[in-house]
Amino acid sequence: MRYLIEQRIHTLADNAVDQSSGQGFGFTCNEVELSAWQENLDQGYWTHQYWLARFNIEAGNVKEARREFGERLTKIACRICVLSQCYMEWLDQPYFVLCSDCSCGVFRWTKPHGPVGLMFEENERWALEVLLENSEVPDAFYQYWKDAPNTTGYSSKLLLMLSAIEALCKKNSSGTKYSIDFIKLEQILGKDLKEDLWGTKEDKGEGALRHRLVHGEYFEKLDHLTNYVNHLYSKIIAYFNGSILKNAVIHEGVVNPQRHPSGSAYHGHSLIRALGSSELNLGSILGGIDKDGRPDGRCYEILCDPQLLDNY
């Protein structure tokens, strides 16, 4: 089956490549069309901080089509980030997939929402005084850990957390040689998590995730089976409560800790069909979404058929 995939890209880069066709700015790279967003052309090309990516592919199902498109777009977009010198995000953006044999398509909707704050109360105020007086935890730990919740990317957050933990477990030494207290590290993280990230004494950590990331090897597929950010966060909070504060002051059951002012959104998938003269493409769909981020019911019909969605 042949699929057409359209995905929105959020970026501060204005696509001003080639307007020779008279249809707007854009270009094709690795068979992916990248154009300036044209939700309302009368308003101009760069009134929205978006691009549109379009890709045609023969595939057995929508998952195969999305996988191939995702791999191509990631390779392209990461390189554009280097060249454009500015922000670009696509993984949390809406997309639309249309199969050539169907009158309906798959729409991934997103609804941005503001963050929910967490209370800083008397217990936290007491704990602050304890941490200020404590000399066991170096300032470098707090500086790295502060940067971790202030960033949104998984790899950047993980690397900052790894650096913070190394600062926490760094051996006191008068020499210049860098050294980690691996006994303390394993006590904090547990044997399995420590070996996943720092390896063992026998392999000198060369195959471990921390070593690979800091030496220019990005995540492998198996690395994505575990959310190391969540695991590290839980271990460190438990360590602070048990060993530093001697009291369960920091709530260990908080949902979505390290909350950030941006990047929060609800997501969902729907099979949709155009009604009347409505057009079945991403720009038109997003031009009339409701307050929940779903297609306007006057223009598009949402098909509640899980089996059809699974087999699309």
Question: How many Å separate Cα 18 from the centre of its chain?
Answer: 31
168-191 pLDDT, tens digit per residue, is 999 875 555 678 999 999 999 999
Distance of alpha carbon 53 from alpha carbon 34, whole angstroms: 5
Same domain, 65 and 165: no
Least confident range from 159-163, 222-226, 237-241, 288-292: namely: 288-292
Tell me what pLDDT residue 171 has. Answer: 85
Domain contains 259:
no
Q: What's the pLDDT tens digit per position in 220-237?
A: 989 999 999 999 999 999
Q: Quick one: pLDDT at residue 46?
A: 80
Beta-bridge mates of residue 5: 55, 97
In a domain, 177, yes or no: yes
Exposure on the CB side of residue 214, measured as CA atoms within 13 A: 14
For residue 40, give the DSSP letter. Answer: -
Asked, for residue 295, whether it belongs to a domain, the answer is yes
Q: Are residues 150 and 238 in the same domain?
A: yes
Domain membership of residue 274 as a residue range:
2-113+264-310
pTM, full prediction: 0.82
Number of domains present in the structure of the chain: 2
